[in-house]
Structure 1
């Protein structure tokens, strides 16, 4: 079933916490439907068909687990608490799921693209109806009643302002990352061409400057998206470490270039 377009009074984009909750619920629906599709027994099914479909279900379940982690992080669950729930170490939990949490943040922390015309709240209410049909003894609003947009509608303006700030910072990061990729390519070409050390040192210095700016933007994001502060702080630290390494390498290349010039002067 296609989710209904948003009505004028219904916001398309909810708080990140609400968005993550509905995103999880939609994946739970997909996983449930995929599991029920395995029930019919077809004696004429090709060999390997059951395994293929079971593996497809596992893929849906893996997606559900990832969305559960994202929803938990939006609710303030720590990596230590997630590790305990998964019976793994904190480091293992972070390595496994942090990239997905960061990707969720970079993509705007929304269930649907803002220009899709699909309301997350409308999707939640559709899930309400489906759940109520299958579980008439449960709440009629099992999904939507737990959303902040329903419980605390007055908080929408504050959430919108915080989202706008975070969106601007992510857009700036995207531009900086594009520039950084260009510099990486330029440095690679210079290295392959056997360019003089000072030419490579200049590009490395530019990269270091750019990484330093990126670290500052990530730090700003810890305030704009406090629920994901751990991810942003880790990326800021990584950018600073890259800055130090690139500056040190640039200094080595500059020293090498200077030594080369002195050698050339003696030879002449």
Structure 2
């Protein structure tokens, strides 16, 4: 039996190639999950940050007339939107089966971030 063909022998290069060459194989599916796992962790954290930013924004709308683009809460919302757009773009590349949904979400957050950056909370609410 040739070198590296014994059962249980690690084949990091070949296994890595199999993980990207054969869609549907166990190696491919494991590779895809591992590739996107950190992105899903980042997404969960970013969605929590979005929830907190929206809560701050809603409180600001009730209590403060100065909701311009330079307001710290507005800057926080812009940052959150841009971060979510980037994560969704990365997910679209990592999980092609869901790329349309991820790209749509990335577009939504890109547009929202742009509107908040250009107009602040009041400008966004008026559109």
TM-score, normalised relative to structure 1: 0.34
* One of 101, 106, 110 as aligned partner of 1:231: 101
Task: Tell me how far apart the structure 1 counterparts of residues 60 and 122 of structure 2 sit (CA, whole Å).
Answer: 16
1:247 to 110, 117, 126: 117
Equivalent of 1:210 in 80, 95, 99: 80
Deviation at 1:198, TM superposition (A): 5.6
Report the equivalent of 1:165. 35
2:71 equivalent to 1:193:
no
**For 1:51-90, what aligned pairs fall within 5 Å after superposition?**
none
Native 8 Å contact 1:190 1:200 kept in 2:
no
Q: Distance in 2 between matches of 1:242 and 1:226?
A: 24
The match for 2:44 among 174, 183, 191 is 174
Give the CA deviation at 1:217. 1.0
CA 225–199 in structure 1, closer or farther in 2 if over 3 Å, else same:
closer
**Structure 1 stretches lacking a partner, 5+ long:** 1-151, 254-268
In 2, Cα distance between the equivalents of 1:159 and 1:172?
A: 20
Shift of 1:207: 1.0
User: How far apart, in 2, do the equivalents of 1:252 and 1:189 lie?
Assistant: 13
- In the alignment, is the contact (CA less than 8 A) between 1:201 and 1:251 conserved in 2? no
Unaligned stretches of 5+ in structure 2?
Answer: 1-21
Number of aligned residue pairs:
101
After TM superposition, the score normalised by the length of structure 2 is 0.68
Shift of 1:241: 0.4
- Contact preservation (8 Å) 1:222, 1:233: yes
1:131-152 Cα deviation digits (max 9, x unpaired): xxxxxxxxxxxxxxxxxxxxx8
Change in CA separation of 1:246 and 1:199 when aligned onto 2, cut-off 3 Å:
closer
Please state how far the C-alpha of 1:185 moved relative to its aligned partner.
Answer: 0.7
CA–CA distance in structure 2, aligned partners of residues 252 and 239 of structure 1:
17
